[in-house]
Amino acid sequence: MQIILITGGAGFIGSHLTRLFVQKYPHYKIVNLDALTYAGNLNNLRDIENEPNYTFIKGDITDAALVNRLFAEHRFTGVLHCAAESHVDRSITDPLAFVRTNVIGTSTLLLAAKESWKQDYNNKIFYHISTDEVYGSLGETGFFYENTAYDPRSPYSASKASSDHFVRAFYHTYQLPVKISNCSNNYGPYHFPEKLIPLSINNIMNNKPLPIYGKGENIRDWLFVEDHARAIDTIYHNGKIGETYNIGGHNEWTNLALIKELCRQMDTKLNRAEGTSAGLITFVKDRAGHDLRYAIDATKLKEELGWVPSLQFEEGLSKTIDWYLANTNWLNDVVNGHYKDYYEEQYHKR
Ligand code: NAD
Ligand code: DAU
């Protein structure tokens, strides 16, 4: 019997991962611990919320008493740690929030797992979900490998790098059975509309300007979120303890080229004249310390565990746009903050 704690399961990637595990493994028990920050949204999980193998708990990963109690009560055999502050721009204005959740929260979970599992580490896994941004920024050529030296350059990536180091330290010092994956930029349904792709979809739908930082020459390596969830499933079950795996799509786009492709597809889907949406592109002040290029080499994951992405980018982008066009209630609730009213009603009365 596997009893898995997923942290941050109400967020973007966490909700896809939670859905995958709840549906694919009906004999596992899945407990989703999420603080429901601005980025957490229970509407992301409506379709599985009543499944018998799924439990939601509202709580903060920095709350050691709560986390220890949950380990004692549920006797977790595994942890899939997704909870984080995840937006680079927010980390520039409020770095301490990132230290708190990403560094202290991760360390709190590690300590609880170590304490709870210390009699027997067999068949236990602490899986830490991390980012390619820990490796820093590439020039025009080259890739990030699993042994690329860490060189974080934003408060967000510094906090994620720090959390990765704590996970590695718990493996080396206490032999805690850990796994880490570092993934490139994700996109897909339920992506919070502060990030480039969903923000641009929402703005195109509403004829608002599309803010492109600097000259739009920065490059990101995009992966469909369900492919990321599949990779985590593969690594969780078949990856080696103590190892790091890079996950990426070999799919590099400059921000400007990506937004032009998005505009092209949306003009067609919205029956607008060609070039209408691209007319909304607006160049704005660059992000402070803006990393130029990320590109993942995911050969290890392919050769050792057989994982490859399932979707070409144009197809994944088309599916993503279709999802947002079909789910305007989800999008409008997020943009208007109505989903917060629901939390107030649901949790305040307790
Ligand atoms: P997200 O911001 O959409 O979701 C984060 C979730 O964590 C939310 O549900 C939020 O409520 C929850 N949370 C935040 N602070 C918490 C706390 N203190 N206690 C409990 N829950 C808390 O993030 P995401 O984009 O889904 O990213 C998930 C993970 O994947 C993060 O660790 C991120 O670093 C990593 N990652 C993201 C990407 C990407 O492109 N989005 C790529 C690679 C790795
Ligand atoms: O690489 C993985 C990382 O990808 C994850 O670890 C992060 O959690 C995730 O947020 C993402 O970080 P980025 O900073 O790359 O994503 P974002 O969508 O914020 O920005 C993508 C690119 O687009 C980046 O070069 C900045 C630029 N951008 C972003 C926004 C929001 C714009 O030009 N305009 C914008 O309005």
DSSP 10-70: TSHHHHHHHHHHHHH-TTSEEEEEE---TT--GGGGGGGTT-TTEEEEE--TT-HHHHHHH
- Look-up of token digits 């020459």: 217
CATH architecture of the domain with range 3-187+225-250+294-311: 3-Layer(aba) Sandwich (3.40)
Q: Which of 34, 85, 133, 164 is catalytic?
A: 133
| Ligand nearest, relative to CA of residue 18 | 1
**Closest to 124 in 3D by CA, of 170, 161, 76:** 76
- Look-up of token digits 């937004």: 259
> What share of the chain in percent tops pLDDT 90?
95
Beta carbons of 150 and 136 less than 8 angstroms apart: yes
Beta carbons of 82 and 10 less than 8 angstroms apart: no
Does ligand 2 come within 6 angstroms of the Cβ of 320?
no
- Identify the pLDDT of residue 344: 73
Does ligand 2 come within 6 angstroms of the Cβ of 255?
yes
| Mean pLDDT computed over 11-40 | 98
Residue spans of the domains in the chain: they are 3-187+225-250+294-311
333: pLDDT strictly greater than 70: yes
**Closest to 216 in 3D by CA, of 122, 283, 280:** 283
Confidence of residue 348 (pLDDT cuts 50, 70, 90): low
Beta carbons of 283 and 214 less than 8 angstroms apart: yes
> What share of the chain in percent tops pLDDT 70?
98
pLDDT, tens only, 182-200: 999 999 999 999 999 999 9
Nearest Cα residue to atom 21 of ligand 2: 196
Average pLDDT value for the chain: 96
- The structure tokens listed for 79 are 């942890």
Does ligand 2 come within 6 angstroms of the Cβ of 98?
no
Q: Which of 60, 85, 132, 164 is catalytic?
A: 132
Nearest Cα residue to atom 17 of ligand 1: 60
Measured in Å, residue 200 CA sits from the centre of ligand 1 at 20
Dihedral sign (CA 195, 201, 205, 209) = positive
**Closest to 14 in 3D by CA, of 278, 320, 229:** 229
- The structure tokens listed for 110 are 């590690």
Q: How far apart are CA 193 and CA 331, in angstroms?
A: 8
232 three-class SS:
helix
pLDDT, tens only, 102-158: 999 999 999 999 999 999 999 999 999 999 999 999 999 999 999 999 999 999 999
pLDDT, tens only, 55-105: 999 999 999 999 999 999 999 999 999 999 999 999 999 999 999 999 999
pLDDT, tens only, 255-278: 999 999 999 999 999 999 999 999
- Identify the pLDDT of residue 200: 97
Confidence of residue 346 (pLDDT cuts 50, 70, 90): low
Nearest Cα residue to atom 7 of ligand 2: 86
